[in-house]
Amino acid sequence: MAKYILRIKELEMALKQEREEKQALLEEREKLLARIERLELELEALKQGRSVRSYQDALKLKELAKNAREGVSWKALCAEVLGLRDEGKIKDLMKLAFVVRKNERNTWPGKFYPKDIAEEFHGWVLMRPKDRQVADIIDYVLYREDTLKAAKGLAVGEAAKERVPEVKPLKTGKAAERWIETFFRVVYHDYMALINQKRGKDAKKYLEEK
């Protein structure tokens, strides 16, 4: 009987040792896979002339853009797609994709537009929700520009068209001069607004339409 008990203990010890060795191999495998992933990132970043951090951020933005939906806040999108809940990092990504700065009254504007370099977010707008108060700009909600244009007439192009004076028959030379002066003043104002928002492509398109 004592022989059987001794044999059982030997087997238990051997099994425990096997499990420990297996766990150690699994942990080593995970470390190797993580190192391979880091090396692949470094290689791709070098090929593109970027830092690893910059390349990783670019990948995150592409993933966010691929999964972007109207009516979802930037904060919620980052949590859903990236599993990111650090509000500082969420805001950093937002500033990489959108022109985020206060207006001349030192308050946050109602909308943020994408940067020229963030092509994956062109056509999107981050907008302060009208139905509730927000604690921070990361609570701004994503909308397509064409949706806002069609549903609410909030796009800059549409707003500018409404402000441009209607062409009417001019009775005198003075009236013609006043109309032309007003027209170009409005166009210049809206063009510079787009330039200040770093929306060079939209500014060029706006002038072409005029």
Phi, psi angle pair for 100, to nearest 5°: -110, 105
| Phi-psi region at 83: left, alpha or beta (left = phi > 0; alpha = psi -120 to 50) | left
Per-residue pLDDT of the chain (210 residues; tens, 9 = 90+): 777 788 888 888 888 888 988 888 888 888 877 777 776 766 677 677 777 888 889 999 999 999 999 999 999 999 999 999 999 999 999 999 999 999 999 999 999 999 999 999 999 999 998 877 888 999 999 999 887 776 554 445 554 555 544 545 444 566 656 656 666 666 666 656 666 665 666 656 655 665
Calpha distance 87→128 (Å, rounded) = 17
Q: The tokens of 166 are what? A: 């209607």
pTM of the model: 0.54
Calpha distance 45→39 (Å, rounded) = 10
| Per-residue model confidence as pLDDT tens digits over 97-154 | 999 999 999 999 999 999 999 999 999 999 998 877 888 999 999 999 887 776 554 4
H helices of the chain, where?
2-47, 52-67, 74-82, 87-97, 145-151, 156-163, 173-196, 200-209
**Which residue type sits at 184?**
F
Domain ranges across the chain? 1-49, 56-150, 155-210
Q: 19: Cβ–Cβ under 8 A, 6 or more apart, which residues?
A: none
